[in-house]
Amino acid sequence: MKKVRLDIMALSHSVTQSHNYAVVLGEENGKRRLPIVIGGFEAQAIAVALENMTPNRPLTHDLFKNTLDSFAIELKEVVINNLLDGIFYAQLICIQDGNVMQIDARTSDAIAMAVRFACPIYTFEFIMESAGVILDEEEKARKTPVRPKTTSIEDMNVQSLEKLLDEALQKEDYEKAAQIRDIISSKKSMES
């Protein structure tokens, strides 16, 4: 089956279901959109990752990412692989030591993980034909893909760097801590 690459186009309140949200996925280089209704917690998990926010304590999706990282498991891609009775199904496609593993997941959780790993999201043509919608040209021009903001460590302020330094030291990542310490020193000497 032919896979269709998707980008996150929008995250908003659901028009059809109150107290829920919708994540709108857009076909890469295409006009079709795939709206998926998700819960508030999942919407928050996606938004936090898209905005590169760092909560005081890890969210569940951050914990899962940290666990996968600890066991050297790479999330290669997310595939929205089925649609039954209006419910989307997804899989995390992971690789560890050259072995490919498929892990079933709720679509909202899979998208939250895709944002954290910066991996692609795919679906199949039959799902786009069944649940996809086409935006008119004017509306398409207003929508651009939402991608995680990538902030270079050199662009961060001293306060953010000091917080990052504390996190690196807690994780005993001394190489990263040394790099951060040097950037902080450089920034402080420039302020003097």
76 closest CA partner among 43, 114, 33? 114
**How many CA atoms lie within 13 Å of 142's alpha carbon, on the beta-carbon side?**
5
- Higher local confidence (pLDDT), 33 or 2: 33
- Higher local confidence (pLDDT), 186 or 97: 97
Predicted pLDDT at 138: 47
Percentage helix, strand, coil for the chain under 3-state DSSP, each rounded to 5 = 40, 30, 25
pLDDT in tens, 52-61: 888 888 889 9
pLDDT in tens, 14-43: 666 667 889 999 999 888 999 999 988 888
From the options 3.40.1260.10, 3.10.690.10, 3.50.30.30, 3.30.1330.10, give the CATH code of 3-142. Answer: 3.10.690.10
**φ/ψ of residue 28, rounded to 5:** -65, 130
- Tell me what the mean pLDDT of segment 115-127 comes to: 95
- Higher local confidence (pLDDT), 8 or 18: 8
Give the helix/strand (H/E) hosting 76. strand 74-84
pTM of the complete model: 0.69
pLDDT in tens, 61-113: 999 999 999 999 999 999 999 999 999 999 999 999 999 999 999 999 999 99
- Tell me what the mean pLDDT of segment 116-143 comes to: 81
Predicted pLDDT at 150: 47
161 Cβ neighbours under 8 A, 6+ residues apart: 153, 180, 183, 184, 187
The domain segmentation of the chain, as residue ranges, is 3-142, 153-191
Predicted pLDDT at 152: 60
The per-residue pLDDT of the chain, averaged, comes to 84
The pLDDT of residue 189 is above 80:
no
Predicted pLDDT at 184: 80
